[in-house]
């Protein structure tokens, strides 16, 4: 599943793939695979990302659709 909402929030915050990959200690290709659903985020990675967007729920960030 593509994490569209994560992509939107990263763009809104000006957070690049390169910067987020560094924060998660993975390379950019691995991050790309995780964002576009080719690999899964670990629980630790999801926590780091959720902490960057305290105004968003984890469900919203890691679901492919808008939070209702």
Tell me the three state secondary structure of residue 21.
helix
- Confidence at residue 68, expressed as pLDDT on a 0 to 100 scale: 44
- Confidence at residue 67, expressed as pLDDT on a 0 to 100 scale: 43
* Mean pLDDT (10-residue bins), the chain, 68 residues: 94 98 98 96 96 95 65
Q: Residue 23: is it exposed, middle or buried by C-beta count within 10 angstroms (0-12/13-18/19+)?
A: middle
Runs of H (alpha helix) within the chain: 4-13, 17-24, 28-35, 43-52, 58-62
What domains are defined for the chain?
4-62 (1.10.260)
């Amino acid at each position: 599943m593509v994490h569209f909402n994560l992509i939107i929030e990263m763009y809104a915050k000006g957070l690049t793939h390169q910067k987020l990959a560094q924060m998660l200690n993975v390379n950019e290709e691995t991050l790309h695979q995780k964002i576009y659903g080719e690999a899964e985020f670990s629980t630790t990675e999801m926590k780091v990302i959720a902490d960057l967007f305290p105004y968003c729920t984890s469900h919203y960030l890691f679901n492919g659709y808008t939070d209702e």
